[in-house]
Amino acid sequence: MSFQEQRAWTDFFLTALVYAGYVLVIAGRAQGSPITEVPYAGPMVASMLAAVVGAVVAGILAALSSPKDADTSDERDAAVNRRGDGVGFYVLSVGMLGPLGLTVAESAHFWIGNAMYLVFVAASLVSTAVKLISYRRGFQPW
């Protein structure tokens, strides 16, 4: 398994874990009260920071565990990253129509903010999943 593929696995699970933690925190705060009144901004920012810090720490640990592989990236890695990022871009672009619709409908800020966060998470997970599938099943240009 290449270093880039290891990073993709780490990013996938870290993104899913951090988002699940955010959802659990918000659900826990909503007990007995309307969910739109739950203070969500702090946990949302904290979860985003946790994802970034976690990715940096995971990258450093991976580089320390195999320092000679940390700098290696070949043409295939670049092509896989390009494809995954491209698919993630389309998911993000189409997905943002949901929060835009919520904004036009003048929905509560809670729903707009959480819809945006969900779309960012979905785009990241789809992008990383495409990369992992490309690594595992081979890369065929479209």
Element (H or E) spanning 31, and its range?
none
The pLDDT of residue 140 is 66
Averaged confidence pLDDT in the chain:
91
The pLDDT of residue 142 is 58
- Kindly report the three-state secondary structure assignment for every residue of 6-63: HHHHHHHHHHHHHHHHHHHHHHHHCCCCCHHHCCCHHHHHHHHHHHHHHHHHHHHHHH
Q: Rounded CA gap, 75 and 86, in Å? A: 16
Q: Read off the pLDDT of residues 5-38 as tens digits, 9 standing for 90 and up.
A: 888 899 999 999 999 999 999 999 998 889 999 9
Task: Using the predicted structure, report yes or no on whether residue 141 has a pLDDT greater than 70.
Answer: no
Token pair for residue 135? 């690594």
Token pair for residue 3? 């270093």
pTM score above 0.75: yes
Q: Read off the pLDDT of residues 63-117 as tens digits, 9 standing for 90 and up.
A: 887 777 777 777 888 888 899 999 999 999 999 999 999 999 999 999 999 999 9
